[in-house]
Structure 1
Amino acid sequence: MPDFNVKTVPTTPFAGQKPGTSGLRKKVKVFQQPNYTENFVQATFSTVLDESNTQDIVMVVGGDGRYFMRETVQTIVRIGAANGVKKFIIGQGGIFSTPAASNVIRTRKATGGILLTASHNPGGPENDFGIKYNVSNGGPAPESVTNAIYKATTEITEYKEIQFGEIDLDTVGIRKYGETEVEIIDSAADYVSMLETIFDFDLIKAFLSKNPDFKILFDALNGVTGPYGKKIFTEKLGLPETSTIQCVPLVDFGGEHPDPNLTYAHKLVDSVNKMGVDLGAASDGDGDRNMIISKDWFVTPSDSVAVIAEYAAQAIPYFKKTGVKGLARSMPTSGAIDRVAKKLNVEMFEVPTGWKFFGNLMDAGRLSICGEESFGTGSDHIREKDGLWAIVAWLNIIAYVDLKLNLPCSIRAIMNRFYLKYGRNYFTRYDYEEIESSHAEAMYSHLESLIVSPDFVGRKFGNNAFTVSCADNFSYVDPVDSSVSKNQGLRIVFSDSSRIIFRLSGTGSSGATFRVYIEKYESNEDSLMLEAQDALKPLVDVALEISQITKFTGRTEPTVIT
């Protein structure tokens, strides 16, 4: 007979187990230290039990398939059961995309979810792992909860577990382990059913039937959305197997960096160009990011969310029903969506980077569609960004433009009409990854001192082409709960409304990432379809001059340009 007795294991705290909005991210080898993962999981459950108003804890668990995920699912169930969790809902094989998990948390009214992902960061024995807690609304835990988890990690003296032996993660169904119920579900099936309530799949199929030569190519980057993409594109829409690539989740993402941008999604970019693909799309490791590209156009994430907002209430059944309540973007994201909000006469919000800020607005009924320039797009159907949702939204819009508006429906044509109506916010981002932290901090301190200096406003750059009109360190007061978020990014705005923004990011597991965001608005009809890097080069040169990145870091080129 299996031993279902609770065992108490003595332990001591580990330094640095402080989760952010994106959870606790470290190298795999850090999580593999004896008791390291167990401590953090116990601290999470201790916090959940303290925060919960019920003892009937239901927890959604799964991850992006990366190395060490399956072992950690087993650890979570053993420790959760010992702490009195009533039920676990786990994706088959441990697989759960982040948006799919958010949906199940909401529809099954779960207490929360533990997501095992480091998002778009590399996987494998030498790379990254992460544990993230989502609360009952399906969104990332707020700072009050992550702070409580961190406090628990600093005080822990023991964790509890029940040794079940191996939990069967691969067979769909419900089984009991002692007093705890474990339900394994096909998370892709649940997710696709959700999408069918949002989008007009009949319209999309009619479009594909009318346009059999319209080429679609989806790249899961060997991440979690492979099974989801197969169900959508080949099973539901009847596209050939060749319309999907890299759709088997791999523990190391096939040695690739599962980040859907022009640099890391190079196989998709090459295939789109060689095959003449009309709609190319990629999703990241855990499925919450996306990229849209075609044989003759790359859609920036800033433009993508603006176009979705422009067509939502006309083309997408979900928004036909609910209407568009409000729009939002992260502060570094371009102002293209602001122009749509003004046209639609709805509220527009500029928030710090981090999906939890959107979630607050959604829960208050003030926000429908939002996005981040870091390839994250979503809506109030869940409380996470949702890569496949954005991809199907584009397909729905293309079908609508062709069948209902009888207009040219290529991505380039759709973007050209958008720019003619609103003007174009040229936008790019330069990422300098894994900079020595001390060098990055010295550079950032230099920038902070510079922009607050009394003579900075009014200074001219770029052969006097750009005059600083204002500069600050972005601060946000949440209109829902009045919480204040300070030091969210250094902004420089010029008199022609061009912007340069500098941020240090901590979503990786080592070093620092320095990001430079560059935006310039253009309304001249003859200058709307230029290559972004050509249009922005004078402002890029100004950004490099102001930051002095080569002087501080030795870097002469960014790691990634988007």
Structure 2
Amino acid sequence: MRRLFGTNGVRFILGKTMSISDILRLGLAIGTFFKGKKCLMGRDVRLTGEAVASAISSGLMSTGCTVYDVGLITTPALQYLVRRLGFDFGVMITASHNPPEFNGVKVMDSDGVEIPREKEVVIEDIYFRNKFEYANWDKVGDYKVLQGVLDYYIEGVLEHAKIDEITERRFTVVVDPANSVPVFTTPEVLKRLNCRVMTINANLDGDFPGREPEPRPDTLRELAEAVKTAGADLGVGHDGDGDRAIFVDEEGTVHWGDRTGALIVKFFMEEHPGEKIVTPVSTSKVVEDVVKKHGGEVVYTRVGSINVSRKMMEIGAKLGLEENGGIFYGPHHPVRDGTMATVLILNIMAKTGEELSKLLSTLPRYHQFKLKVPCPEELKEPVLKRLREEVKGVKVETIDGVKVWYSDGSWVLMRPSGTEPIYRIYGEAPDEDRARELSRKHEELLRRIVEEVKEEVKEVK
């Protein structure tokens, strides 16, 4: 069956991979599925956001759904408000960390969590078969602008902050909201916690002129310099829709999400020994080391925030994380949330009185090296089949893509991206050179297989 939904919602380039009429049909499919219910809709700052939101709204209203539009907002804030305000479903217009030309649509259930795969399949079936159910002219849904609700989310996050301890420390924090909607949430939460807040790339601009929307060590160099220059305690780099946070310590070192995530896990496990932690197969082994030390269990999932969220809900887990900077704090809401993650890091710094670099130095050290290999969408499955046939190691896992373990404790994961026409490669080892070697070696393997499969497809045609 053809697919619309990828790892995290539907992604597209407007006018290239999907047209406005396609987006309208997507709105019709979503509305047909939810049958005239109430929808909370928001968007990030992308240039095509208003056009996409208008098309989605038209489709939803045509099926009898009422649309409440909150405008510019982060994904985790919209998700929280769907549940908090009792909406039947939510739609977020965002392409998260993708480049500026992309946009996307995420669909949330009444619990504020992205709809599970089985519901995506039904919407896809409605879309591809044009099984739309239009409302009569007198039953067409309304469009309403909803303002003044973000404070519910801000207050919800602050309920989990160690307010007195953080307020007393008066941390200096530099925030990089990626020229997008996180500017409305993280700086405001920090101000209410008596932090000195500085921002860079804080002007709203869908071209993302300051940096790419994906927060990585190479895109956060300006943030790292700002932290050092300002003598700040912490730097926070968000993605385009605010559900991820990558942290910079006081020395200007940028840390991948599974490392700072492991720190959050460590302090969580000290207070809740024996708990289960949910994370995708791409996460560093440091998380498993920390969890096992405290008698807990790591539950691995496929990559994708929806997989982590739904697994947490299924097993009653209170904490999940991703290596890309996603933290899922169940007591607040089991979705990834960059602003909530920032509060959890400040809680730890305030509780211990330690600098972030020192706190992270107590964790086991592993090195990761990540690469991308182009691969057309239609070749991803045959390439994956060939990979499974060719790779060898001490242990081979196929939860998501192919993960190969070696006797020295190192591993490499190769998996097809659910949002871009690429394969992602993650290599990890106790030694930096070994991690790089593993990733490069499997990059060569993957490129060869992609080219071979291309040629085979040509011959068949």
Q: Distance in 1 between matches of 2:57 and 2:422?
A: 34
Q: Distance in 2 between matches of 1:507 and 1:272?
A: 32
Q: Partner of 2:455 in structure 1?
A: none
Q: Partner of 1:106 in structure 2?
A: 83
Q: Distance in 2 between matches of 1:504 and 1:554?
A: 12
Relative distance call for 1:553 and 1:267 in structure 2 (3 A) is: farther
How far does residue 372 in structure 1 lie from its aligned partner after superposition?
A: 1.1
1:217 aligns with 2:197: no
Which secondary structure state, in structure 1, belongs to the residue aligned with residue 181 of structure 2?
coil
Unaligned residue ranges in structure 1 (runs of 5+): 1-14, 50-54, 164-176, 209-213, 315-319, 403-408, 457-467, 476-487, 522-534, 556-562
Residues 136-145 or 248-257, more deviating: 248-257
Q: Partner of 1:39 in structure 2?
A: 25
Relative distance call for 1:100 and 1:548 in structure 2 (3 A) is: same
Q: Partner of 1:470 in structure 2?
A: 395
Q: Partner of 2:146 in structure 1?
A: 184
Q: Distance in 2 between matches of 1:544 and 1:447?
A: 15
Counterpart amino acid of residue 387 in structure 2: L
Do the aligned residues in 2 keep the contact of 1:17 with 1:40 (CA within 8 Å)? Answer: no
Q: Partner of 1:247 in structure 2?
A: 202
Q: Distance in 2 between matches of 1:387 and 1:536?
A: 28
Q: Partner of 1:19 in structure 2?
A: 5
Q: Partner of 2:45 in structure 1?
A: 65
Counterpart amino acid of residue 67 in structure 2: F
Q: Partner of 1:267 in structure 2?
A: 222
Which secondary structure state, in structure 2, belongs to the residue aligned with residue 285 of structure 1?
coil
1:413 aligns with 2:363: no
Which secondary structure state, in structure 2, belongs to the residue aligned with residue 552 of structure 1?
helix
Q: Partner of 2:436 in structure 1?
A: 540
Q: Distance in 1 between matches of 2:2 and 2:16?
A: 11
Aligned residues: 449
What are the residue-to-residue correspondences of 1:83-482 with 2, within 5 Å?
A: 83-85=63-65, 87-91=66-70, 94-123=71-100, 127-156=101-130, 160=134, 180=142, 182-208=144-170, 215-234=172-191, 236-240=192-196, 243-254=198-209, 256-296=211-251, 297-312=253-268, 325-364=275-314, 366-380=316-330, 381-402=332-353, 409-416=354-361, 418-419=362-363, 423-424=364-365, 426-432=366-372, 434=374, 446-451=386-391, 456=392, 468-472=393-397, 474-475=398-399
Residue by residue over 1:337-387, the C-alpha shift from the partner in whole angstroms, topping out at 9 and shown as x without a partner, is 223322333342111112223223332452111111122122212232111
Which secondary structure state, in structure 1, belongs to the residue aligned with residue 209 of structure 2?
helix
Percent same amino acid among aligned pairs? 21
Counterpart amino acid of residue 519 in structure 1: E
Q: Distance in 2 between matches of 1:367 and 1:345?
A: 15
Counterpart amino acid of residue 113 in structure 2: G
Relative distance call for 1:516 and 1:34 in structure 2 (3 A) is: closer
Do the aligned residues in 1 keep the contact of 2:243 with 2:337 (CA within 8 Å)? Answer: yes
Counterpart amino acid of residue 105 in structure 1: V
Do the aligned residues in 1 keep the contact of 2:425 with 2:439 (CA within 8 Å)? Answer: yes
Which secondary structure state, in structure 1, belongs to the residue aligned with residue 123 of structure 2?
helix
Which secondary structure state, in structure 1, belongs to the residue aligned with residue 282 of structure 2?
coil
Do the aligned residues in 1 keep the contact of 2:24 with 2:58 (CA within 8 Å)? Answer: no
Residue by residue over 1:517-559, the C-alpha shift from the partner in whole angstroms, topping out at 9 and shown as x without a partner, is 22224xxxxxxxxxxxxx321242133224415963999xxxx
How far does residue 269 in structure 1 lie from its aligned partner after superposition?
A: 2.6
- Normalised by the size of structure 1, how large is the TM-score? 0.73
Counterpart amino acid of residue 433 in structure 2: K
Relative distance call for 1:327 and 1:536 in structure 2 (3 A) is: same
What is the RMSD of the two structures over their aligned residues, measured on CA atoms? 3.1
Q: Distance in 2 between matches of 1:99 and 1:295?
A: 27
Q: Distance in 1 between matches of 2:281 and 2:275?
A: 20
Q: Distance in 1 between matches of 2:403 and 2:141?
A: 54
Which secondary structure state, in structure 1, belongs to the residue aligned with residue 394 of structure 2?
strand
Q: Partner of 1:78 in structure 2?
A: 58
Residue by residue over 1:242-278, the C-alpha shift from the partner in whole angstroms, topping out at 9 and shown as x without a partner, is x122223322223631111112233213323444433
How far does residue 500 in structure 1 lie from its aligned partner after superposition?
A: 1.4
How far does residue 38 in structure 1 lie from its aligned partner after superposition?
A: 0.8
Residues 217-226 or 340-349, more deviating: 340-349
Unaligned residue ranges in structure 2 (runs of 5+): 452-461
Q: Distance in 2 between matches of 1:265 and 1:23?
A: 26
Do the aligned residues in 1 keep the contact of 2:75 with 2:243 (CA within 8 Å)? Answer: yes
Q: Distance in 1 between matches of 2:378 and 2:61?
A: 43
How far does residue 185 in structure 1 lie from its aligned partner after superposition?
A: 2.7
Q: Distance in 1 between matches of 2:318 and 2:442?
A: 37
How far does residue 180 in structure 1 lie from its aligned partner after superposition?
A: 3.3
How far does residue 292 in structure 1 lie from its aligned partner after superposition?
A: 0.7
Counterpart amino acid of residue 113 in structure 1: G
Relative distance call for 1:434 and 1:146 in structure 2 (3 A) is: same
Residues 76-85 or 495-504, more deviating: 76-85
How far does residue 439 in structure 1 lie from its aligned partner after superposition?
A: 8.4
Which secondary structure state, in structure 1, belongs to the residue aligned with residue 185 of structure 2?
helix
How far does residue 178 in structure 1 lie from its aligned partner after superposition?
A: 8.1
Do the aligned residues in 2 keep the contact of 1:21 with 1:142 (CA within 8 Å)? Answer: no
Which secondary structure state, in structure 2, belongs to the residue aligned with residue 389 of structure 1?
helix
Which secondary structure state, in structure 2, belongs to the residue aligned with residue 385 of structure 1?
coil
Q: Distance in 1 between matches of 2:45 and 2:84?
A: 23
Q: Distance in 1 between matches of 2:450 and 2:33?
A: 43
Do the aligned residues in 2 keep the contact of 1:79 with 1:160 (CA within 8 Å)? Answer: no
Q: Partner of 1:478 in structure 2?
A: none
